[in-house]
Amino acid sequence: MKTIKIFILILSLLFLNNCGDALKFRKVDAKEYPPDPKLRVQKNMEEGRGFRLMGNSNNNTNYNFASSNPLWRATLDTLDFMPLVSANYSGGIVITDWYSENNSPNQAIKISVRFLTNEIRSDALDINIFVKECSNNLSNCEVNQSEGELRTELALNILKKAAQYEQEGIEKFRKDNPYNVTTPTKEADKIKN
């Protein structure tokens, strides 16, 4: 047993002796490396000397949560004054309950927003607004679909907020990943897949 340990020790010393150049201490000029650790890491990453264990691994797994979709968040924030009947992220639809203001109890509106795409563009949303008008005794009600200005204003407001949320997300990504040279784009994601 002792002879086996001695043999392994001698064998490992021979192997380590052959790796002499790799283990030799090299003198380095401090002027070549910036004193700030973030800048040193950035320089090493740009020169290809570093690697990341948990970052930038693209294994074709795409997790989309409702809180990460700017269009979804903007829609919920825009309609937050109305009670919701249904908000189904996987189905891509938000439906509000009937809403009326205190000064007009005979008239109520209901809004449904369907998401046609996750991209922020003018044709991404299908917004339907229904207006319910009742008689004075609230017994005889008529429901009609509205095609007026409210629909356009609502879509514009949602798209503006979504664009703002997306810009904030890009800035946060840049802040959290200062060593990346490029920012993620939808076109780059399509090329990778």
Q: What is the 3-state secondary structure (H, E, C) of the chain?
A: CHHHHHHHHHHHHHHHHHCHHHHCCCCCCHHHCCCCHHHHHHHHHHCCCCCCCCCCCCCCCCCCCHHHCHHHHHHHHHCCCCCEEEEECCCCEEEECCECCCCCCCEEEEEEEEECCCCCCCCCEEEEEEEEEECCCCCCEEEEEECCHHHHHHHHHHHHHHHHHHHHHHHHHHHHCCCCCCCCCHHHHHHHC
Q: Which CATH architecture has domain 66-172?
A: 2-Layer Sandwich (3.30)
Give domain limits for the chain: 66-172
What's the pLDDT at 146?
A: 86
Confidence of residue 191 (pLDDT cuts 50, 70, 90): low
Cα Dmax for the chain: 104
Mean pLDDT of the chain: 77
Tokens of 190: 């399509």
Highest mean pLDDT among 63-67, 82-86, 177-181: 82-86
With 70 as the cut, is the pLDDT of residue 193 above it? no
Indicate whether 64 pLDDT > 90: no
Q: What pTM, to 2 d.p., does this model score?
A: 0.57
pLDDT at 59 over 50: no
pLDDT digit string, tens, across residues 4-38: 888 888 877 766 665 555 555 666 666 776 777 77
In DSSP terms, 146 is beta-bridged to: 129
Integer Cα distance of 84 and 90 in angstroms: 16
- Give pLDDT tens digits for 66-112: 567 899 999 999 999 899 999 888 888 999 999 988 778 788 899 99
Bridge pairing between strands 125-134 and 93-96? unpaired
Query: According to the model, what pLDDT value does residue 188 have?
Result: 53
Q: How big is the chain, counted in residues? A: 193
Q: pLDDT higher for 108 or 40?
A: 108
Q: Write the pLDDT tens digit of every residue in 130-170.
A: 999 888 777 788 889 988 888 999 999 999 999 999 999 88
